[in-house]
Amino acid sequence: MTGLPRSRRRDLLRGGVLVTFGAGLGVVGFAEAADVVDRKLPLRGGAASAVVPGRPDLLGNGRLEANWFVPTGRRIVALTFDDGPGPDWTPMVLDTLHQRGVPATFFMVGERARRHGELLRGRLAGHEVGSHSWAHHDLARLPVEEAYEDLARTHRELVAVTGQEPRLLRPPYGHLAGSTLAAAVRMGYQLVLWSQQMREADFPDDPAGQARRIVADVHPGAIILAHDVGRRERLVSLHALPEIIDQLRARGYEFATVSQLLAVRR
């Protein structure tokens, strides 16, 4: 790279860091990484703060909470389902939850809610709807205005389709960075990650094994991640759901939406 004109070199460095931040830094090397730092990372997107100078009004109340679980001694957990709604599995998940009287939280993708909203009609009583972005793009890699527009559009769609005002955001890929955070605080959202997740790869076609694992690892206040859309392998978790619910109940666990769980802390 040293043989390149300085301006061209700067473009390459900027492109490399923008496109492959994280993995890319190791490739750039120390001296060049320092060069990048000197030149400043983009303030309004990606890894930078994404704060728009002089516009504190774009930062909601100036405070954002991220929740992986809720510290409590009470045996209570929140089941969460990401990436839906979808025609293949979402109705089955809703059936299982309905049969057992279990509330859950669905982190929905806006454009899927628009396409498959009829699956949800009359079926969300007792459940919570959160945002999982419009099309599952990594908000952390978008300029902050685009990240905000993505969330605002998703919010409008979810209100129209579900009748609920989302208060929670689970960022795609769980990626937290400048644009994600700035857009979320502007929306007045709380961030929700997870402390436990389904392990489809460990239990191919073994719902009983999947259920045992979740039940063995559970802890009071857990937020448990599952998906109601995706690769076929994920089905094992949804088939394990009845057993997971029954076994957790047998151990004295109650189920709550994420917002109900968060209220336990306060």
Catalytically active residues are: 82, 227
CB of 228 to Zn ion, least distance (A): 10
Q: Which is nearer to Zn ion, 32 or 83 (CB)?
A: 83
- For Zn ion, the binding residues (CB under 5 A) are 82-83
Dist CA 147 CA 2 (whole Å): 35
Q: Which is nearer to Zn ion, 75 or 136 (CB)?
A: 136
DSSP 8-state assignment for residue 143: B
Q: Which is nearer to Zn ion, 32 or 157 (CB)?
A: 157
Closest residue by beta carbon to Zn ion: 82
Q: Which is nearer to Zn ion, 9 or 137 (CB)?
A: 137
Longest dimension (CA), the chain: 69
> 129: which strand partners?
106
Mapped onto helix, strand or coil, the DSSP state of residue 127 is coil
CB of 131 to Zn ion, least distance (A): 11
CB of 229 to Zn ion, least distance (A): 8
CB of 16 to Zn ion, least distance (A): 26
Q: Which is nearer to Zn ion, 82 or 228 (CB)?
A: 82
Which run of H or E residues covers position 113?
Answer: helix 110-116
The CA-atom distances, in angstroms, between 191 and each of 159, 167, 211, 257 are 18, 9, 27, 14
Residue 92's Cβ-side half-sphere holds a number of Cα atoms within 13 Å equal to 15
Contact present, 176 and 66 (Cβ < 8 Å): yes
CB of 194 to Zn ion, least distance (A): 11
User: What is the residue whose two structure tokens read 């039940």?
Assistant: 215
Contact present, 17 and 36 (Cβ < 8 Å): yes
